[in-house]
Structure 1
Amino acid sequence: MTGAPTPEVEDDGWAGANPFAPSFRDDPYPAMNQLREKDPVNETPVGPWRISRHADVVDVFRNAPTSQTLADGSSPNMDDQDRRGSFRDFMLNMDGPEHARLRRLVLGAFTPKALKHIEGEIDRVVDEAMHTALKQGGMEVVEDFALRIPSRMICRIMGLPEEDIDQFTVWTAARTNAFFARFLPEDVVEHTRQAGEQMADYFEAQIKLRRANPREDLLTNLIQSEEKGDRLGDVELAIQAIGLLIAGFETTIGLIGNGTKALIENPDQAELLKQNPDLAKNTVEECLRYDTPVLFNWRVLTEPYEVGGKTLPENAVLWMMLGAANHDPRVHDDPDTMDITRQGISHASFGGGAHTCLGNQLARMEASRAFHAFVSRLPKAEIQYDDCAWSESFFRVLGKMPIEFH
């Protein structure tokens, strides 16, 4: 990791905020803030329009006539040559009745009532991580904390062996690049395809096991669920399982990792949370606003629509710049400052509309318990910046962040 880059004025169409530049992930906020204030509805050199102001992002999510795909049914971002395990057939990339059908099949596993029974399991995993860290005088935050919590929980919900977590970690980080593969180097795209193949093999084998020996888990529920007499086939099941694993795994690593980093770098906020445990839930919302792991997602207009004073055409691809919207000073005072007591937090980190992240309650539950335990049980920590690194994920997710206590 390097220090925060200074946005450059480049005559390349990106207005100093190229999301595919390696330096962008280190600290994208100066560049995104500049983009939002100077050109909030910006046509990129590769075609899509970036929407940066909070009000415009919310308006598109709530009101604009949009789809996840282009008029011909193809994805605006994904790899047309992707073979198996393609996100093009995942519920996230579908609209209307088909999206609603698939979402209903899994939504029950992620309601607050359904998640209530795993609260104790989350606390057990957090306690184990804290105990080990105190004994060792430090921890590798990603492996020992940010990854450990969501990986164990999603494995439990889906009924997957915990001994496979290391393999999931490699696969999911690589597979996130499929979301914007059309804009990435060929070697990255090929690595992403291979991860998709391997995940498809894995889940098709798991599905065969469940058909022969059903269990009390989400994968079995998907196999047995019926919607007007229609059951998911093995290929469709595998694709949904891959997407759910990534949705419940990778982004929550980012939330807990980025949030822990922010609390260490803002010790006054960590002390506030330590003294006021009731702020744990608000801390999660502020961490989601302050440093979201998903900096942008997409929508496609199905008819012309005015955004920020510009009428965009039918089939226009919109990149919703969630990180920029979350730092919009029109909505939040002093938005580049972390404040866990902030009232009326309005972030776009879980998207919006029909495609709002269905695992948001699980992510909030995991992060709330993780943040409170971290500040209440551990001494002051120092990040070893020279040994930090980002993961291979397309998202803003740390791959390594060792800390020492003092």
Structure 2
Amino acid sequence: MDLRQTGIATAPAYSLDGGRSLHRWLRDMRLHHPVHQDPLTRVWTLYRHRDITQATADPAAFSSELWRHLPGEMGTGKLTAGNLTAMDPPRHRLVRDLVSRSFTARAVAGLRPRITAIAARLVDAVADRGEMDVVADLSDPLPVLVIGDLLGLPTEEWELFRDWAQRLLSFDKGDLTDEAVRKRVADTQQELLDYLLVHCRRRRANPQDDLISRLTQAEVGGERLTEEEVVNFANLLLLAGHVTTTLLLANIVLTLDEHPAAAAEVRADRSLIPGAIEETLRYRPVIVSNMRVTTRAVTVGAEQLPAGQFVSLSFISGNRDEQLFTEADRFDIHRDARRHLGFGHGIHYCLGAPLARLELGIALEAMLDRFSRFEVTGTPVDYYDTPGVAGPRSLRVAFRHH
């Protein structure tokens, strides 16, 4: 069926104008087509916050194990074993319980001195220039160095991780139909997995005080993680933990630049930083959607979804849902934004959210401490076109010292 026959145009790219056109389109979908099946891809999308959270709270009906419905090697689960985002209970609970021990409030708080030192060093490195690229100079290296430390990977190799992440992010939506592009993506992913496998085997033979060692040695319910599970979890942490924090800090700086009154409040009262972070996660999330597959027939709103249907959960739409957030299109650092979907929801709520919040707060404080003023100069902003992600490839700002 031609999309034009449905009366629904395709969604505008976020990169078109920083999401403005997309948000207008999403508002129309929430109002008129809150549960919609694309006639070409046959994928259903949920646009309402209520429907999204009901789906994420019901993993028995909305499975994250998409690989079971994919062809060839992708359908074996080999490539997703240990990837928490692609697992259902009960295995998901076992692995998450094990991994979460490294992300307790106490464990994350213990990283504060190291994160503060790294952020200060990165800001100091650009202090004499009068300008910086927030992504390349601060928000990209910071989480890579922190997560690399956590995993026990050599600091001198962080450029390797950054390169892999950049290569995996630098394909556009349309490219995925190209066999050569899909092969490049797969080859890049395999390079990273091979690298992590070497470190996993070294830690099994000679454990150190790091997360990879703890994952290779620990037991939950009498079970140990397989080698594939350890490698794939390290891969998830390195990529997801890196990319989300990288783009979130850029999104915070960009959003505060667009709202100078809010920026002035945050500068005058640092206790407002957590509120600014949460509201940015709602207003301009990095992860815009997530996929599930139905395990049985389910009813969502007025629609009946059969078993075996791929379902996209539009987090970016749910975050602007008028039924939950008053004046949802307004950026308000004082609102209670805690029900945002910027870190997901349900059993797959981001395990690294406390670490990301800590990194973001410290990095923003470092910029406010060092610079009396900073403003975005690189416009129009160059956004990624990678599916499922919304954030700038680079964000140039000019600053003045105190």
The 3 A distance-change label for structure 1 pair 22 and 275 is closer
The 3 A distance-change label for structure 1 pair 134 and 163 is same
The 3 A distance-change label for structure 1 pair 20 and 304 is farther
How far did residue 210 of structure 1 move?
A: 1.6
Residue of structure 1 aligned with 2:319, choices 326, 344, 348: 326
The whole-number CA distance in structure 2 between the counterparts of 1:183 and 1:344 is 34
* Number of the residue aligned with 2:56: 61
The whole-number CA distance in structure 1 between the counterparts of 2:8 and 2:377 is 32
Residue of structure 2 aligned with 1:52, choices 47, 53, 61: 47
The 3 A distance-change label for structure 1 pair 213 and 314 is same
The whole-number CA distance in structure 2 between the counterparts of 1:87 and 1:19 is 30
How far did residue 80 of structure 1 move?
A: 5.3
The 3 A distance-change label for structure 1 pair 297 and 12 is farther
The whole-number CA distance in structure 1 between the counterparts of 2:355 and 2:54 is 26
Judge conservation of contact 2:279–2:332 (CA < 8 Å) in 1.
Answer: yes
Residue of structure 2 aligned with 1:368, choices 356, 361, 365: 361
Judge conservation of contact 1:222–1:237 (CA < 8 Å) in 2.
Answer: yes
Judge conservation of contact 2:84–2:92 (CA < 8 Å) in 1.
Answer: yes
Judge conservation of contact 2:131–2:398 (CA < 8 Å) in 1.
Answer: yes
The 3 A distance-change label for structure 1 pair 278 and 79 is farther
* Number of the residue aligned with 1:399: 393
* Number of the residue aligned with 1:252: 245
* Number of the residue aligned with 1:34: 28
The 3 A distance-change label for structure 1 pair 251 and 265 is same
Within 5 A, what are the aligned runs for 1:276-295?
276-295=269-288
The whole-number CA distance in structure 2 between the counterparts of 1:233 and 1:41 is 38
SS in 2 for 1:380: strand
**Between the two proteins, what is the percent identity of the paired residues?**
26
* Number of the residue aligned with 2:214: 221
Judge conservation of contact 1:79–1:182 (CA < 8 Å) in 2.
Answer: no
How far did residue 388 of structure 1 move?
A: 4.4
Within 5 A, what are the aligned runs for 1:234-253?
234-253=227-246
The whole-number CA distance in structure 1 between the counterparts of 2:192 and 2:107 is 26
Judge conservation of contact 2:296–2:308 (CA < 8 Å) in 1.
Answer: yes
The whole-number CA distance in structure 2 between the counterparts of 1:367 and 1:393 is 22
Q: What do the CA deviations read for 1:210-265 (whole angstroms, capped 9, x no partner)?
A: 23332110000011112344323333322221112112111111211111111122
The 3 A distance-change label for structure 1 pair 367 and 117 is same
The 3 A distance-change label for structure 1 pair 125 and 96 is same
Judge conservation of contact 2:35–2:45 (CA < 8 Å) in 1.
Answer: yes
Judge conservation of contact 1:283–1:368 (CA < 8 Å) in 2.
Answer: no
**Matched residue type, 2:236:** G
**Matched residue type, 2:394:** K
The whole-number CA distance in structure 1 between the counterparts of 2:142 and 2:99 is 21
The 3 A distance-change label for structure 1 pair 54 and 285 is same
RMSD of equivalent CA atoms:
3.0
255-264 or 122-131, which deviates more = 122-131
SS in 1 for 2:244: helix
The whole-number CA distance in structure 2 between the counterparts of 1:63 and 1:212 is 40
The 3 A distance-change label for structure 1 pair 19 and 217 is farther
How far did residue 87 of structure 1 move?
A: 3.3
The whole-number CA distance in structure 1 between the counterparts of 2:5 and 2:372 is 47
* Number of the residue aligned with 1:390: 383
The 3 A distance-change label for structure 1 pair 112 and 185 is farther
Judge conservation of contact 1:383–1:401 (CA < 8 Å) in 2.
Answer: yes
The whole-number CA distance in structure 1 between the counterparts of 2:6 and 2:204 is 52
Is 1:166 matched with 2:159?
A: yes
User: What are structure 1's unaligned runs of at least 5 residues?
Assistant: 1-8
The 3 A distance-change label for structure 1 pair 83 and 51 is closer
SS in 2 for 1:136: coil
Give the TM-score taking structure 1 as reference length: 0.87
240-249 or 385-394, which deviates more = 385-394
Judge conservation of contact 1:257–1:398 (CA < 8 Å) in 2.
Answer: yes
* Number of the residue aligned with 1:6: none
**Matched residue type, 1:34:** D
The whole-number CA distance in structure 2 between the counterparts of 1:32 and 1:359 is 28
The whole-number CA distance in structure 2 between the counterparts of 1:402 and 1:115 is 30
User: What are structure 2's unaligned runs of at least 5 residues?
Assistant: none
Is 1:74 matched with 2:61?
A: no
Judge conservation of contact 1:388–1:400 (CA < 8 Å) in 2.
Answer: yes
Within 5 A, what are the aligned runs for 1:2-401?
11=4, 15-18=8-11, 23=16, 27=20, 28-44=22-38, 45-63=40-58, 65-69=61-65, 73-75=68-70, 86-87=79-80, 90-175=83-168, 184-386=177-379, 388-391=381-384, 393-394=386-387, 395-401=389-395
Runs of 4+ in 1 over 6 A off after TM superposition: 19-22, 82-85
391-400 or 12-21, which deviates more = 12-21
Judge conservation of contact 2:13–2:19 (CA < 8 Å) in 1.
Answer: no
The whole-number CA distance in structure 1 between the counterparts of 2:397 and 2:82 is 40
The 3 A distance-change label for structure 1 pair 345 and 209 is closer
* Number of the residue aligned with 1:3: none
